[in-house]
Amino acid sequence: MDSVRTLIVGAGVTGLATAAALSDRGDDDYLILEADREIGGWCKTVKKDGFVWDYSGHFFHFKHPEIERWLVDRMPGQKIRVVKKKSFIAYKGRFIDFPFQKNIHQLPQDEFIDCLHDVYFARSSDVKADEKRAALPATNFKEMLSARFGRSICEKFLFPYNEKLYACDLATLDVDAMGRFFPYADLTDIVRNMKAPDNASYNATFTYPEGGAIEYVRAIASAVRPGAVAFEEALVAVDLERKVARTTSASRAGGSREIRFDRLVSSVPFNRFVALCGVGSDDEPSTWAWNKVLVHNFGFDGKGQRDVHWAYYPARETAFYRVGWYDNIFDADRMSLYVEIGFPRDATIDVAAMRERVLRDLEREGVVTGQRLVAEHSVVLDPAYVHITQRSLAEHRRVTAALRERGVWSIGRYGGWTYCAIEDNIVEARALVASWN
């Protein structure tokens, strides 16, 4: 039987960052199992006919300069743009600035009055953003939105947009389901913004490498022991008592094997991982909810709209919830789009039918204005956004504590069943490795 000190599952950002952190402290006794043929997980990049597309729109906002420096130092020759973001909401045929709740004064007068009236009389509109957790009476995400922003802002944007994205009843989500990614604004912020625009949010600028998001992943991989990734080899079972993992491999002679480990770090979606460990519970389907996202990447023969990086589409009759313009990052002369559509986890997705609808909607929304489609790619991200609920939080805490006792950790966006960005994955992986003596 093979044996390894640390068995890592997944060669996405999380798995690779864990391996890099181990190598950094002189420990190369690890193996990374990766079911796919390539590194990157959901942070892969596709190149086609001169277009560079990520699996879905990935833009980067680093809060830790030392992490950004560490990555950039491993990307010699790669052009990385720092871009002041231009993001909008497509509302009834016009663009208004993002976030919606701070820019209601850009709506037609009657709608502006409705929004201002409702937000003024909303139960918690005067709660300061940093006091929101303690002060909010709400018990779920939908109630929180109503309590803070009132009916009109919710009905015009916050409900339809988030329902399209999460593809679920927002009342099932935790109050804090979006964590720091939700742009809070109190009544003072909203009124002040009418005269002195300050739409800065957690991502006022972003960085983007010319070669796409995968360049950051490659930077992490460059710090990993060569040959450490076993590609096309999937974890299929974990015996927690014996500390033995079973795998199957499409490419390795022998097909399957057993690997003994001291520690195991998994970035597999948590619901699937607990099933592989045999510690799943009967109420799993109601504990672990998520949505899928279908991404269409489209390349056209001519330029489209300028001065926009991405836009949110709350209209229920429009299939997509977000569109991004890659060509406006590097000032390319051909429109290069990503288009995102949310689906419930059980949906059967007819990609071809959705493609036709999306192309029609892009024309109706004025994104495509006669340019010819010359290249395309699509992918379904499953899971894309996990649904954070009181139940998922409690169950994740309970099961991970039990797994830790056995030398097993489940981390990352899906292993941690959370909403986060790649920098968070790197921080978490490093902190985990640093916690081992």
Rounded to the nearest whole angstrom, what is the least distance from the CB of residue 78 to ligand FAD in the complex? 17
Beta strands per DSSP E along 49-163: 51-54, 80-84, 87-91, 94-97
**In the set 4, 6, 7, 10, which binds ligand FAD (CB under 6 A)?**
10
Rounded to the nearest whole angstrom, what is the least distance from the CB of residue 416 to ligand FAD in the complex? 8
Beta strands per DSSP E along 80-129: 80-84, 87-91, 94-97
Rounded to the nearest whole angstrom, what is the least distance from the CB of residue 134 to ligand FAD in the complex? 28
By CB under 6 A, residue 15 contacts ligand FAD: yes
Q: Which of residues 322-381 bind ligand FAD (CB under 6 A)?
A: 381
Are 395 and 401 in contact by the 8 Å Cβ rule? The answer is no
Question: In the stretch 23-62, what mask flags binding to ligand FAD with x, by CB under 6 A?
Answer: ----------xxxx----xxx------------x-xxx--
Of the candidates 220, 222, 228, 218, the residue with the CA atom closest to the CA atom of residue 67: 220
CA 313, 55, 210, 218 torsion: positive or negative? positive
Closer Cβ to ligand FAD, 39 or 190, answer by number: 39
Closer Cβ to ligand FAD, 367 or 384, answer by number: 384
Cα–Cα distance for residue pair 156/143, rounded to 1 Å? 16
Of the candidates 64, 19, 18, 16, the residue with the CA atom closest to the CA atom of residue 44: 16
H helix intervals, 237-320: 270-277, 284-287
CB atoms within 10 A of CB 315: 18
Question: In the stretch 127-156, what mask flags binding to ligand FAD with x, by CB under 6 A?
Answer: ------------------------------
**In the set 6, 7, 8, 14, which binds ligand FAD (CB under 6 A)?**
14
By CB under 6 A, residue 312 contacts ligand FAD: no
Residue type, 168: C
Q: Which of residues 156-175 bind ligand FAD (CB under 6 A)?
A: none
Q: How many residues bind ligand FAD (CB under 6 A)?
A: 32
What are the two backbone dihedrals, phi and then psi, of residue 53, each rounded to the nearest 5 degrees? -125, 140
Are 158 and 145 in contact by the 8 Å Cβ rule? The answer is yes
Whose CB is nearest to ligand FAD?
Answer: 41
Instruction: Go through the chain and tell me how many residues it has.
Output: 437
By CB under 6 A, residue 321 contacts ligand FAD: no
Closer Cβ to ligand FAD, 122 or 167, answer by number: 167
By CB under 6 A, residue 384 contacts ligand FAD: yes
By CB under 6 A, residue 277 contacts ligand FAD: no
By CB under 6 A, residue 4 contacts ligand FAD: no
DSSP helix/strand/coil, 29:
coil
Q: How many CA atoms lie within 13 A of 372 on its CB side?
A: 2
By CB under 6 A, residue 209 contacts ligand FAD: no
Using DSSP bridges, classify how beta strands 256-266 and 2-9 pair: parallel, antiparallel or unpaired. parallel
Residues engaged in binding ligand FAD (CB under 6 A) = 9-15, 33-36, 41-43, 56, 58-60, 234-235, 267-268, 293, 381, 384, 412-414, 420-422, 425
